[in-house]
Amino acid sequence: MEFATTPPQLAAEMDHIERAMGGRLCFAIQNLQTGESYARRATEKCKTASIIKLPMLVYLATAVHAGELSWDQTLTLTDAEKVGGSGVLTLLGAGLKLTLKDVCMLMTIISDNTGTNMLIEEFGVEPVNNCIRAIGLQHTTLLRKSFAVDTHKSAAYGLGVTTAEDMCLLVATLARREESGDAAATECLGILEHQAFRDGIPRLLPPDWKYAGKTGAIDHVRNDVGLVTTASGARYALAILCQDLHEVLWTPENRGLLAIAEVARLLTCAL
């Protein structure tokens, strides 16, 4: 997928948003009906925070529908996998058994970090990264568990590394595979539609538009990637990554979240 340069007037608006945000704004968007696209710093490597959980979901759904795994197989919660941040599993009792589908749902819609670690412990890092490469994502890599001690390899990025171009390509691939009847893609998008965190991409969009996406947040990062479907059926694959934020603020008024919302509104109107 090749992305077009953002037109000068729109680029100027993005410059203004970036200055107000205080950080680095990267994005890629494609209108899936017309093929038109825009990008800004789309090939720059970024910290994923929790959007790396989307490729994890894609790997697991693909393996299930290939007959290699089952949504009904169970995983057991252990105290060793419990970590802080997003989620509820860290508050529940060790020994709890959950289906693979339930853990994937928690990892995706409330970004459960403990659930994420359960999945990485059970299935590993390399199968996820092999799936990522098979899709054609060149720069996206799952590096470690949530809240794990960084190695030399993960020190610069933490949980994972990606680009806006890669994440937009992943969303576009899911949308196209869904349209062709691919069951794994359909299931992934069905899960993403239940996303609980909606202070980014869908925030300023019309209420009758649909959003299926995955968010990610750490102190100086706010990311949002997803599929937006308008009331008329137009579809947009969209990735907006806000990096190196100057201000640490864990409320809906975080400048990165406000920037994501405004960028999503402007880009979907422009295309």
Q: pLDDT tens across 194-251, in order? A: 999 999 999 999 999 999 999 999 999 999 999 999 999 999 999 999 999 999 999 9
What is the predicted pLDDT for the residue at 4? 87
Give per-residue pLDDT as tens, 116-125.
999 999 999 9
pLDDT at 2: 78
Across the range 29-50, mean pLDDT stands at: 97
CB atoms within 10 A of CB 14: 21
CATH topology of domain 8-270: Beta-lactamase (3.40.710)
Predicted TM-score (pTM) of the model is 0.96
Separation between Cα atoms, residue 60 and residue 254, nearest integer Å: 32
Look up residue 33 and give its DSSP letter. Answer: T
Tokens of 10: 């729109």
Comparing C-alpha atoms, which of 255, 243, 248, 225 is closest to residue 108?
225
Q: State residue 5's pLDDT score.
A: 84
